[in-house]
Amino acid sequence: MYRILISDKLGTAGLERLAQITDAAYDMKTGLSKEELIDIIPDYDALIVRSDTKVDADILAAGSNLKVVGRAGIGVDNIDLQAASIRGIIVMNTPTANNIATAEQTMALMLAVSRHTAVAHESVKEGEWTRSKFVGTQLHGKTLGIIGLGRIGRLVAERAKAFGMEVVAFDPYVSEEVGRELNVTLLDLDELLPQADYITLHTAISPETIGMINAETISQMKDGVTIINAARGKLIEEQALAAALQSGKVKAAALDVYSAEPPRENPLIGLSNVLHTPHLGASSLEAQRDVAVQMVEQIVDALRGDDFRNTLNMPFRVGPGFNAIRPYMDLAETIGKLQAGLADGPITQVEVQAKGEAVENLIRAIAAALLKGILHNQIEGPLNYINAPVLAEKQGIAIAQTMDIEALDYPNLISCRVKWEGGSHAVAGVLFGGSEPRIVQVDEYRLEARPEGVILVMQNKDVPGVIGQIGTILGAYDVNIGEWRMGRHQPGSEALSFINLDSAPSEAVLDALRKVNAITQVTLLSP
C-alpha cells in the first residue's frame, strides 16, 4: 500500500480520485511547519504540494521512503530539484491542467487594466459616477508581444487574435513554421520590444530569464507600453518596473505574480497604474479539478512504475509513450549490469551507441539505463534513472555518445563500450520480436545469449574437451545448465561462453573451473 501525504490544500476531485485507488492511502495535513514535515515524511512514499510547502534538501533527506514529489500546478520554485535528483526522487508537475485558466486570466488582466475596470468599480461603490476619469484603450488594432510561445502563450495568441490584435512573439525554441501555423510573427527580443503596445510574459524561470524585464529592456520598449505578467514574478526586476511606471515610460502593468508572495514589501504595491491579483492564474473551478485529478493519477502511476509523464528531473524526455521505450531501457540496463560484471577494474568511461529507427532518438534514456545497470551493485540507497547520471559523475565515470563501436548489423542495436585503466569491453544487444532481450556481441565474439538469471561467463581456448570438462564439473556440484551459448573467433582460437544456470554455483565450483588449463577467465553474474 502506497502512502501519500498531501501538505497543501488539494481539490476535492483529487481526493475523491485517490479514494478510488485500492493500492494507495493518503493523509491531508496542511499548514505544517518544516520541523513537523520532517518528523512525518519518513512514513510516506509520495508528497503532493501546491505552492505553500517548501520542499528543501532537509525535507528530502528526511524522506527515507520518499519516491515522488508532485506539484499540483506548474511552477516548482518551492522544490529543490537538485537535491531530489541526487536522491533519485521524482519531481513532477501538471503543466497542462491549468493552461486555459491562465490564458484567460491573462486576457482578463489585459482587458481590466486597459479599461480601468477595478478602479471604476471602486468609484461606483463610493457613489461616484465620473466616466471621464476612466477612459480606456481598446485591444483591437494593438500589437501584443508574447514572450514565450509555449502552451499558454499560444492560447493567449489565439484569444488575442480574436480581439483583432496583431500578435508578435519571442521564443528561441519555436520554429518559423510553427509561427506561421499560429499566424504569429516571430521576432528577436530586441525587435519585439519597440513594436509591442502590450507585452505579456509566458516563459519559464531560468538563469537566462530571471529579471529579463529590467531597466535596459524597458528602455527598448515603446513609450506607453502595458506589461502583463501571469507567469513568474522573478521574470521582472520590480524596482525597475516601478520606476518606469512612475516616469510614464510604462503606461500600466497588470500583475498576478510577484518575486515574493505575498508581496509585503514590493515597490509596485500602491502604484495607481498597476492592477494586482493574488496569483489567480490557476484559480478556476475547472483548473482546480483538473490539476488535482491529474496530479493524483500521475503520482500513483509513478509509484507503480507504470508511467512518468511530466517528470521534471528525468535526464531524458518522458511522455505518454514511456512504456513503448521501456523494453529498450531494460535491455540497456541489462547491458550495463553485464559490463559491470565483466570489467576488471573501476569503470571510468562509458560510450553509448544506438543504431536503428526505434532507438536512435533514445540515446539519453539508454545512457541513463546503462549507468543504472553499471552502478547497481555499487550504490547504497535508491538508484534509478534520475540519479544514476548524477551518481556516475560522482564516481568519476564519464559518458559519451559514439558511432565507432564495430557492431553487427541488427535492427535497433544498442552497443556500449566501457573503459577502465588497462582495459575495455564492448557489448551489444537487441530485442528479438521487440521484447526478448539478447546479447549478440561481446568484443569480437558473436553469439545470441539470453541475459537473465544466473549467468556464467567464461573465456577459453577453443580446443576439444573443454565443454565436456565444464559440464562434468557443474554436474558434480549439482548445478544444472539451462542454456549454453558460445561464440568464437575461428576454430582453434578463443571462445566465449554464456551459460544460464538454474542456481548459483558456489565458490568451490568457480575454483574448480578456473583450474581447467584451457579456461582463461571465469565470471559469475547474478541478478
SS3 of 193-221: the string is CCCCCEEEECCCCCCCCCCCECHHHHHCC
**C-alpha cell of residue 42:** 519518513
261 as an active site residue: the answer is yes
Task: Please identify which of the residues 232, 309, 438, 488 carries the catalytic annotation.
Answer: 232
Q: What is the largest CA-CA distance in the chain?
A: 108
Task: Please identify which of the residues 279, 309, 425, 438 carries the catalytic annotation.
Answer: 279
Q: Kindly report the number of other CB atoms within 10 A of residue 142's CB atom.
A: 18
State the pLDDT at residue 334: 92
Q: Kindly report the number of other CB atoms within 10 A of residue 19's CB atom.
A: 12
Q: By C-alpha distance, which of 441, 459, 455, 435 is closest to 514?
A: 459
Inter-residue long-range contacts of 183-191, CB under 8 Å, 24+ positions, other chains counted: 184/146, 184/149, 184/157, 186/149, 187/145, 189/147, 189/217, 190/220
Residue given cell 506539484 in the structure block: 71
Q: In angstroms, rounded to a whole number, what is the distance separating the alpha carbons of residues 49 and 33?
A: 14
Q: How far is CA 56 from CA 62, 257, 443, in A?
A: 10, 22, 46
Strand partners, 70: 48, 92
**C-alpha cell of residue 38:** 520532517
Altogether, the residues listed in the chain come to a count of 527
Domains 99-276 and 340-525 share a fold: no
Task: Please identify which of the residues 261, 297, 483, 494 carries the catalytic annotation.
Answer: 261
Sign of the Cα torsion 403, 409, 411, 415 reads negative
Architecture of domain 2-94+287-304: 3-Layer(aba) Sandwich (3.40)
Instruction: Decide: 394 and 334 in contact? Cβ < 8 Å.
Output: no
State the pLDDT at residue 170: 97
Strand partners, 437: 431
Phi, psi values for residue 488, rounded to 5°: -150, 160
Q: How far is CA 118 from CA 123, 276, 281, 392, 396, in A?
A: 9, 9, 17, 56, 59
What is the CATH topology of the domain spanning 340-525?
60s Ribosomal Protein L30; Chain: A; (3.30.1330)
DSSP state for residue 506 in the 8-state scheme:
P
State the pLDDT at residue 411: 84
Task: Tally the C-alpha atoms within 13 A of residue 374's C-alpha that lie toward its C-beta.
Answer: 34
CB-count burial class (<10 Å; 0-12, 13-18, 19+) for 158: middle
State the pLDDT at residue 407: 66
Per domain, the residue ranges of the chain are: 2-94+287-304, 99-276, 340-525
DSSP string across 269-314: TT-TTEEE-SS-TT-SHHHHHHHHHHHHHHHHHHHHTS--TTBSS-
Sign of the Cα torsion 267, 72, 98, 88 reads positive
Which residues fall within 8 angstroms of residue 10, CB to CB, at 6 or more apart?
28, 48, 50, 72, 292, 295
Instruction: State whether residue 156 is helix, strand or coil.
Output: helix
Asked whether the bond before 327 is cis by omega within 30 degrees of 0, the reply is no
With the CA atoms of 295, 296, 297 and 300 taken in that order, what torsion angle do they form, in degrees rounded to the nearest 10? Answer: 120
Q: Which amino acid is at 156?
A: V
99-276 placed in CATH 1.10.287.10: no
154 as an active site residue: the answer is no
Q: Which amino acid is at 24?
A: A
Q: In angstroms, rounded to a whole number, what is the distance separating the alpha carbons of residues 231 and 236?
A: 10
DSSP string across 382-410: ---TTTHHHHHHHTT-EEEE-S-------
One digit per residue, the tens of pLDDT, for the chain of length 527 reads 999 999 999 999 999 999 999 999 999 999 999 999 999 999 999 999 998 999 999 999 999 999 999 999 888 889 999 899 889 899 999 988 889 999 999 999 999 999 999 999 999 999 999 999 999 999 999 999 999 999 899 999 999 999 999 999 999 988 888 899 999 999 999 999 999 999 999 998 888 899 999 999 999 999 999 999 999 999 999 999 999 999 999 999 999 999 999 998 999 999 999 999 999 998 899 999 999 999 999 999 999 988 888 888 888 777 666 778 889 999 999 999 999 988 989 999 999 998 888 888 888 889 999 999 999 888 777 788 888 888 898 888 999 988 777 766 788 899 999 999 999 999 999 998 878 899 999 998 899 999 989 999 999 998 999 999 999 999 999 999 999 999 987 787 889 999 999 999 999 999 999 999 999 989 898 87
DSSP string across 83-113: HHHHTT-EEEE-TTTTHHHHHHHHHHHHHHH
Q: How far is CA 245 from CA 147, 448, 476, in A?
A: 20, 72, 89
Q: In angstroms, rounded to a whole number, what is the distance separating the alpha carbons of residues 520 and 335?
A: 22
Report CA 374 to chain centroid distance, whole Å: 22
**C-alpha cell of residue 436:** 526478448
Q: In angstroms, rounded to a whole number, what is the distance separating the alpha carbons of residues 186 and 201?
A: 15
